[in-house]
Amino acid sequence: MDERNGGAGPVVERPHRPGRLGAGRHGLGRRELVAAAGAGVVGVGAVVAGGLVLRHARHSPAVAGRTPLEGTFRRLVLSWPATNPMLFAVARANFFASYHLDVSLAGGVPNGRAAIAALAAGRTVGAVSPILTWLDVYQQGGLQGGQHGGVPAHLVAGLQSGTFRLLVRRKVKITRLDNVAGLRIAVTDPDMADRLFFSVMMRRKGIDPDRAVQWLTLPPEQVEAAARAGEIDAVAAHDPLAWRLLHAADSPFFELANSVNGNYGARANLALSLSDTFLQADPAAAAALVMALRAASDWIRDHPAQAASLMAGQGDGTGQADILAMLRHERLGVSPVGADLRVQVAQYVDEMKLLGRVPDTVGSAAYARRVCFNALQADAARSFWPLGAGPR
């Protein structure tokens, strides 16, 4: 095992294999690129070597500095929810190789909470999960280390906005979220963030989400039949499942609320967290991973038809036209880092307070500063270690 990649596997020596798309044209660091001390990772348009900092606009060509290290690939393992496959598929097809990364996924990860559990158990160097889920696990002590157990980790980048949808049975005559009290609402997995998100929205309307509605758990394949039989009144889900349920032939549902429109649409939902061990051991690889995933996020926004073509027929067999229609209804390219990420995380902390999951006495901005880390900041490793546990 090689300590430079946080124990996730050996450094792989391979000839340079640029991805099919030049990463330098898609989603480099918004303000700074990193070249961390020690061994480096280089992407097309990104120099990572010996402590050099490259500053430029997000889409401007890279500035040549020292000669990038050639031929050294990092082999990394991530935990990623099986219900959100597109971003990883695009990054694997078009970007990881350009950033000298060989990234694989751990098995047995159905949702964000399971992804975090794999990271906390040391099976992976990073986890992708909804920020609400991550904060919930963190507040419970599962990612703080020390006496709390688990592997210490920090949020490093938002990856995509949320696609939560609350779908209501057409025969239920309500028109506003204020009227959901008394409804039977299905979720397909109690460990997903669907319930958390709509619990926040209910609380904002003065509704107690734990008492005013009845939450039921159903397998995805049973939701439509349960609605047609009148056994549930609504379902809280996220795309692609929510989109399929809403747009099925003679769908029994209409959409009452979602996270696509309004302020929530501009806020990241899925985020990448990395273990502190990995961030310390190989900051160059951490920076490259963040840049590659942000590049993939930008590419999906700019090339939705190609992204739909890549995913067509996979998993549930959804066709290209349906995937493209779904993407055109979503907010794409939302991938904050640094201060932008901290602002959004602080907003989520405020919402966790509404649910009583974070104490009101905790300062949200301070909390966000403690749980986030900017892997694209050149002096981050030198200035911010050791990273402490966040506020309790």
For residue range 280-316, what is the model confidence (pLDDT) as tens digits? 999 999 999 999 999 999 999 999 999 999 998 776 7
Dist CA 317 CA 329 (whole Å): 20
Q: What is the pLDDT of residues 71-99, one digit of tens each?
A: 588 999 999 999 899 999 999 999 999 99
Q: Does pLDDT of 330 surpass 60?
A: yes
- Establish if 142 belongs to a structural domain: yes
Tokens standing for residue 132: 């609400």
Q: Does pLDDT of 157 surpass 70?
A: yes
With H, G, I as helix, E, B as strand and everything else as coil, classify residue 171: coil
Q: Does pLDDT of 25 surpass 50?
A: no
CB 153 within 8 A of CB 387: no
Residue 321's pLDDT band (boundaries 50, 70, 90)? very high
Tokens standing for residue 164: 């939560």
Give backbone dihedrals phi and psi of 237, rounded to 5 degrees, phi first. Answer: -150, 180
List the beta bridge partners of residue 104. Answer: 77
Residue 391's pLDDT band (boundaries 50, 70, 90)? very low
Dist CA 198 CA 237 (whole Å): 10
Q: Tell me, yes or no, whether 335 and 253 share the same domain.
A: no
Dist CA 105 CA 85 (whole Å): 11
Tokens standing for residue 165: 């949808």
* Percentage above 70 pLDDT, the chain: 75
The whole-model pTM stands at: 0.80
From 231, 258, 285, the end of a domain falls on 258
* Cβ partners under 8 Å of residue 384, min gap 6: 373
Q: What is the pLDDT of residues 244-286, one digit of tens each?
A: 999 999 999 999 999 998 889 999 999 999 999 999 999 999 9
The per-residue pLDDT for 140 is 83
* Cβ partners under 8 Å of residue 343, min gap 6: 336, 368
Q: Tell me, yes or no, whether 113 and 12 share the same domain.
A: yes
Give backbone dihedrals phi and psi of 32, rounded to 5 degrees, phi first. Answer: -140, 145
Q: Tell me, yes or no, whether 139 and 191 share the same domain.
A: no
List the beta bridge partners of residue 255. Answer: 167
With H, G, I as helix, E, B as strand and everything else as coil, classify residue 67: coil
- Establish if 391 belongs to a structural domain: no
Q: Does pLDDT of 154 surpass 60?
A: yes
Interior/surface letters 223-235, b for 16+ CB within 10 angstroms, e for the rest: bbebbeeeebbbb
Q: Tell me, yes or no, whether 282 and 326 share the same domain.
A: yes
Q: Does pLDDT of 34 surpass 60?
A: no
The per-residue pLDDT for 150 is 65
| Alpha helices, DSSP H, located in the chain | 86-94, 112-120, 131-139, 194-204, 220-228, 241-247, 276-281, 283-302, 304-311, 320-327, 338-354, 364-371, 380-384
Dist CA 131 CA 107 (whole Å): 21
The per-residue pLDDT for 141 is 78
The per-residue pLDDT for 37 is 28
The per-residue pLDDT for 378 is 56
Q: Does pLDDT of 6 surpass 50?
A: no
From 212, 231, 258, the end of a domain falls on 258
Interior/surface letters 41-73, b for 16+ CB within 10 angstroms, e for the rest: bbbbbbbbbbbbbbebeeeeebeeeeebbeebb
Q: Tell me, yes or no, whether 333 and 286 share the same domain.
A: yes
Q: Tell me, yes or no, whether 223 and 92 share the same domain.
A: no
- Establish if 218 belongs to a structural domain: yes
Dist CA 37 CA 50 (whole Å): 5
> At 113, which CATH number?
3.40.190.10
Dist CA 160 CA 137 (whole Å): 20
Q: Tell me, yes or no, whether 132 and 170 share the same domain.
A: no
Residue 67's pLDDT band (boundaries 50, 70, 90)? very low
Region 164-186: mean pLDDT is 96
Tokens standing for residue 360: 């009101």
Dist CA 389 CA 367 (whole Å): 10
The per-residue pLDDT for 315 is 65
Q: Tell me, yes or no, whether 196 and 237 share the same domain.
A: yes
- Establish if 155 belongs to a structural domain: yes
310 or 20, higher pLDDT:
310
Nearest one of 33, 128, 44 to 88, comparing CA atoms: 128
The per-residue pLDDT for 225 is 97
The vertex-246 CA angle with 240 and 249, nearest 5°, equals 110
- Give the DSSP letter of residue 388: P
CB 88 within 8 A of CB 105: yes
- Establish if 244 belongs to a structural domain: yes
Region 317-335: mean pLDDT is 93
Tokens standing for residue 221: 């394949």
From 208, 238, 258, the end of a domain falls on 258
List the beta bridge partners of residue 160. Answer: 270
Instruction: List the domain range (segments joined by +) for residue 343.
Output: 3-161+267-384
The per-residue pLDDT for 242 is 96
The per-residue pLDDT for 318 is 82
- Establish if 390 belongs to a structural domain: no
The per-residue pLDDT for 54 is 31
Instruction: Indicate the average pLDDT of the chain.
Output: 81
Helices 194-204 and 131-139 sit at what angle, rounded to 10 degrees? 90
Region 40-48: mean pLDDT is 35
- Establish if 389 belongs to a structural domain: no
Tokens 């906005």, located at residue: 161
Q: Tell me, yes or no, whether 54 and 199 share the same domain.
A: no
Q: Tell me, yes or no, whether 13 and 112 share the same domain.
A: yes
Residue 139's pLDDT band (boundaries 50, 70, 90)? confident
Q: Does pLDDT of 186 surpass 70?
A: yes
Q: How many CB atoms lie within 10 A of CB 335?
A: 27
Q: Tell me, yes or no, whether 128 and 213 share the same domain.
A: no
- The structural domain count of the chain equals 2
Q: Does pLDDT of 21 surpass 90?
A: no
* Cβ partners under 8 Å of residue 133, min gap 6: 111, 112, 113, 116, 191, 192, 193, 196
Tell me which of 4-13, 101-110, 177-186, 226-235 is least confident. 4-13
Q: Tell me, yes or no, whether 16 and 150 share the same domain.
A: yes
* Percentage above 90 pLDDT, the chain: 69
Q: Report the length, in residues, of the chain.
A: 392
